[in-house]
Chains A and B, each alone.
Chain A
Amino acid sequence: MARREACESGRTPLSSPASYRGLRVSGRCLLLLACIPVFIYLMLPTLIIVPMALTKGQIIQFPPIWISVHAFADYFKDSQWIDSTIISFKVSILAVCIACVAGSSAAIALHGKTFFGKGAVVGIILTPMVIPLVVLGLGDYLFFTYVQLGERWLEIGLAYSVLVTPYVFITVQAALAGLNPLLARSARSLGAGSASVLYHVHWPTIRPGIAAGAIFAFAVCFDEVVIALFLQSPDATTLPVRMFTSIQYELTPKIAAVASLLLSLASLALLAQAFLPRQRLSPR
């Protein structure tokens, strides 16, 4: 009630500081009101997934008339879907590990350096983020017909590692921004070797950056379809590819169940990133 009055008081003429504040509040009310439909639009698909997974029967109904977990049971009993889930985990973990090593070491290498062409080097490192996925997928397909590794999931994982290295690079670079480059030099002048500088100076600083980048990279890998479509084989069909092909065929509660599991994974990742400890700034 008091809020509504505050909104309405905004109509008084613009002379005293009090009415000025009221005006601002009324503008804010209008703005938030206008945003409500947009937030509903944003949240609607996310909110609808879990109830759809709880539908009884083989057709998706909303609102679900009978609450049932049979869709989840269907998923856990289907060996094809479970195999795909395992493939997706293997692929994502491989890609994230490679990306963490390559991305964070590159960020350390460039930390505190100013040289001609540094901007270009950073640009090249970030390039995989802007190359369209189809182009990468086609290129990887052509590449892996020449260089056959035998294991298809390995190839998908390697292809993903390039895709997600920029994310780790960015987060590690952000973590390193708080570290004075002189610290590494003074550690060296006190007799620390390269490995010891990396372990005692850089590693504590970049840890939260690596964690944040790894979480994001994992989320990207676990959702990627296009490259996996080009590289898939019957024994290496990732979970997103299986979902993509079955969505085109039919919308079943089983897919809703998988989608709600993916959604809970994404929410966990979001929470993990929100509560990640912030990096400590180095003493000046």
Chain B
Amino acid sequence: MQWSAKRIARSPLWLLFPIGVIYGTLAVMPLALIVRFSFAGGLKQYRAVLASPLLARIAENTVVVSIITTVVAVLLGYLLAAALWRSGPRLRVLLFMLVLLPFWTGVLVKNFAWAALLQDNGVFNELWLVISPTHKALPLLHNRLAVIIGMVHYVLPYAVFPIYTVMLSIDQRLERAAKSLGASDFSVVSRVIVPLTLPGVYAAGLLVFIISTGFFITPVILGGPADMMIANLVDFYAHQLVDFNRAAALAVLIVVVVSVLVFIYQWCPKEGQYGKA
């Protein structure tokens, strides 16, 4: 009894004080303010936001773009993760650097580069003009395709790592066992490796989807006016319409949806059935 009391007294829980102050003032208070603003006039703001045809269109655009981004990123990420998994130690370091450098490059730098690559007198169009018979530039920038190219590029490392982690935890003897029982290469991949990596694929997909729905900069730089996403709508309410109540109501709705997704992400298993990791 005496011992435990002493332990509690000596335990450095006071070290949680700085983070408590920072989070209390700079995270809890701003979020509380958003909630308060969103309930100005009861549920009026929410009704106005939900009834607006703008929201329906932008929400649909956000979901469609995020789903396409997720599918493409997970497929490419699976390929990269498999290459990392199967390469020797030296090649693996090099490939890791290749995956990580874009990860560290800022989102602005990347988007600027894509804009310069895709614009009418950009690299791709210069090449296209050489081979095209009509000598007309392709409209590559300011459309949905450009947004997806930029978004997949940003989220690809986030897709690689969960899948790679699961692959590392696969017992390599399973593969040999399948082969010794007469399985072809194709069926080893399709019936042993892919099913064992599915938890990583789900985790990667959900993570990429959560990140994708929050994009703000890429739709502005690489997309056209029709490619606005949900984050841009908050900004639109706040800065163009100067209606902070509606912006707050929309922000609350976004937080609710994201919380549900994050909760599912926490709950879904992240390592393989035969995993050690």
Contact = CB atoms under 8 A, between A and B. Distances in A.
A135 B79 contact: no
Given A39-B98, A223-B106, A162 B112 contact: no
Contact of A230 (B12, B99, B108, B238): B238
Interface residues of A, number: 85
B16 interface: yes
Contacts of A82: none
B177 interface: no
B23 interface: yes
A48 B11 contact: no
A45 B80 contact: no
A230 B251 CA distance: 14
B37 A45 contact: no
A228 B238 CA distance: 14
A256 B248 CA distance: 36
B110 A31 contact: no
Interface residues of B, number: 79
Contacts of A274: 97
A35 B79 contact: yes
A140 B17 CA distance: 21
A236 to B, nearest CB: 17
A264 B220 CA distance: 25
B interface majority secondary structure: helix
Nearest to A160: B26
Contact of B214 (A132, A188, A223): A132
Contacts of B106: 219, 222-223, 240, 262, 266
Nearest to A198: B12
A140 B254 contact: no
Interface string B50-86: 0000000000000000000000000010011011001
B22 A102 contact: yes
B33 A139 contact: yes
Nearest to A35: B83
Contacts of B266: 123
B34 interface: yes
B45 interface: no
Interface in B32-58: 33-34, 37
Nearest to A104: B15
A18 to B, nearest CB: 14
Nearest to A143: B30
Contacts of B213: 132
A38 B73 CA distance: 10
A203 interface: no
Interface of A: 14, 20, 23, 27-28, 31-32, 34-35, 38-39, 41-46, 48-49, 52, 59-62, 98, 101-103, 105-106, 108-110, 113, 123-125, 127-128, 130-136, 138-143, 146, 158-159, 161-162, 165, 169, 188, 194, 198, 219, 222-223, 225-226, 229-230, 240, 243-244, 247-248, 251, 255-256, 259, 262-263, 266-267, 269-270, 274
Given A45-B117, A135-B31, 19 more contacts: A35-B83, A42-B156, A45-B110, A106-B18, A108-B15, A125-B19, A130-B210, A132-B213, A135-B234, A139-B30, A139-B31, A142-B30, A142-B248, A165-B23, A229-B235, A247-B108, A262-B109, A266-B101, A270-B100
